[in-house]
Chain A
Amino acid sequence: METVPRWWQAMTSSLAPSTVNHIRERVKQIETLPTIPAVFLPLLNLLNLPIDQVKLEEVVKLVSYDNTIAAQCLRMASSPLFGLARAPESIKSAVISLGLRKVETILLTCCMGNVFSVKDWTIDPTNYWRHSLGCAMVCRKFSEKLAASDGDKAYIAGLLHDIGFLVNCMTFSKEFAAAMEHASTQQVPLEEAELATMGFCHCDTGLALAQKWRLADDMLQAIAYHHHPERSHSAQPLVALVHLSDLLCRMRNLGYGYYERRRVDLAHDPAWAILANEYQALEQMDLARFSFELDEAVGEIAALVDIIFGTSHKE
């Protein structure tokens, strides 16, 4: 019992003692989660550095450890979503055409597909990756519309926000299967179904993994609070951005593969107010057009998922 981390106690303080005990037992299993691939964390750290301190050679060297990732990266760079007409010949030329930051995010995306060797996908892996990649794209695009400085960080936050579902698949697979079943038969949001059937949700398990990986605080916040940005302790605008992008994806055919019987009023969501407070440009945003533009990307995102994640989830 002493080994239960403090964050876990804080997280579960609102739950009944018997539930907490049950979860505590399972927490031990989180310790057996896969370690993050060698390239991922250094890359993430590079993303946090000011751009003038990042050396192109470092990125190229990192990627050269893993040919698969480098190859996937080049294919992804040539997708219309990233704007290159044909695949660059090397990571170096990709950086020249797209810029270092964009290439870093592409590399991180490719890494993600190779992190998890989930054997029993409770959730449809294609839906999962489409949603994560879609949310990443929307986060970046949303940032651009707001003229926010860090679209790349937003991209990564979008990519990682639902990582708890993967933890659920690996450590709570039976319970999570029941939650999925509940969500799709009742047509309710997945997080609601998790709380109703398991008593905790992917935000909690995702946080556990993110802490184990020692991700930066803003990523922890996005993972833990993307359903309730108003509760986050820091990085609220980023968390709010992920929250809205997540909802938008789920309303525009990039959800979890079932009908969510709900109405979403983005501009009157507390997250919208948080963003409006930070970015004046939000007031001028044409939300309808933004949604139509997202539709355009759906086919492309599906294609990218096949390129990047196709092999890993067929295992």
Chain B
Amino acid sequence: MAGMQIAGSLSSPPDGAAVIDPVYRQIRDLVYKVSGMYKSEEKLYLLVGGCERRMKQVGTKSPRGYWEHLTAHPSRDGELRQLLNELTIGETCFFRSQPQLDAVRKVILPELAADKTRQITRRIRIWSAGCSTGEETYTLAMNMLEESTALLKGWTVEILATDLNDRSIEAANTAIYGDYALRCTPEYFKRKYFSVVDDKKLQVRPEVKKLVSFSRLNFQDDSRMLFMKSMDLVFCCNVLIYFDGPSKSKVIDHFFTNLNYGGYFFLGTSESLLNLNDKFHLVHFPGAIAHWKPSLGGGKP
């Protein structure tokens, strides 16, 4: 009984979610195998919800029937893409992953700041790859500003943010957000880095925007990908899930090249590289996983 209570408080699944058709676990495994996105047992109800919405669209009533759509139907690739869309709806928000931010501020920045060769340039470059409407990008910028009077005093921080979608970039530049995007934002940050537009909306302040430049970029555009050089950190959340194996592998190789030695590549919190690249080291921080490009010599930074 205690088990049910705790599981409930962690994820608030809808009533009656205890019995889940085993086919959904098959779908979960398929989604993982194809995209690298893992829906854990406690988030399985989200996957069930997403599947049910798609089942209505394609006109099938049973999970087994939907499984056929995903695996045997001629339009299976397209359907899988639609399902991935369903699964990532509304995921974007400010401060989505505090453990990732902690890893950056508590472990990685001190590491970079202590690196003697970097002390000459005193510059940190971050790439928010697939930035969507800018929530992740500005979250990073605010956290860097927090460090600018301490650990990063006298350092230059550059944040490059790219997305394929022009409208997303436009929205990111406007930088006006509502409650939903701000649902995880601590009050401290709201007060310090946003100005009030009206009673429902806040706008990111100019000093934060100054750190960031947005532009359009297609990851498949090899020549432009090569241009994104000397990054210390790359964030790419819920974007690679849409790529097939070979394209994903190629983009990951690009990210590896784009990073400085000793740099880090972050995916979404439950996203995996699926062992597609053996040059990166998968490293753990408390509550977060990242992919590390080994320092020259291969040892610790």
Q: What is A's interface to B at a CB cutoff of 8 Å?
A: 79-80, 187, 247-248, 250-253, 255, 259-268, 286-289, 291-293, 295-296, 299-300, 302-304, 306-307
Contacts and interface: CB of A to CB of B under 8 A. Distances in A.
B240 to A, nearest CB: 13
Interface string B171-188: 000000000000000000
Contacts of A291: 284, 289
B24 to A, nearest CB: 14
Contact of A263 (B10, B273, B283): B283
A253 B272 CA distance: 19
Contacts of A292: 38, 40, 270, 272
Contacts of A289: 32, 38, 272
B285 interface: yes
Given A300-B3, A303-B2, A306-B2, A288 B102 contact: no
Interface of B: 2-3, 5-7, 10-11, 32, 38, 40-42, 102-103, 106-108, 111, 270, 272-275, 281-287, 289, 292
Given A303-B7, A307-B2, A259 B106 contact: yes
Contacts of A293: 40
B286 A296 contact: no
A250 B288 CA distance: 11
A259 B286 CA distance: 7
A257 to B, nearest CB: 11
A248 B284 contact: yes
B280 to A, nearest CB: 10
B287 to A, nearest CB: 6
A256 B267 CA distance: 26
A187 B7 CA distance: 29
Contacts of A267: 281-282
Given A262-B107, A288-B289, A289-B32, A251 B42 contact: no
Contacts of B108: 263
Nearest to B29: A289
A310 B57 CA distance: 48
Nearest to A291: B289
Given A263-B283, A263-B284, A300-B6, 12 more contacts: A248-B284, A260-B286, A262-B286, A265-B283, A287-B282, A288-B282, A289-B272, A293-B40, A296-B41, A300-B3, A300-B7, A303-B3
A187 B106 contact: yes
B281 A265 contact: yes
A250 B7 contact: no
16 contacts: A79-B3, A187-B106, A247-B284, A251-B286, A252-B287, A262-B286, A263-B107, A265-B282, A287-B282, A288-B273, A288-B274, A296-B41, A300-B3, A304-B3, A306-B6, A307-B3
From B108, B111, B272, B274, residue with most partner A Cβ within 10 Å: B272
Contacts of A307: 2-3
Given A288-B289, A303-B2, A266 B7 contact: no
Contact of A303 (B6, B11, B275): B6
Contact of A255 (B11, B41, B283, B286): B286
Nearest to A247: B284
B163 to A, nearest CB: 25
Given A261-B106, A289-B272, A299 B285 contact: no
Contacts of A265: 281-284, 292
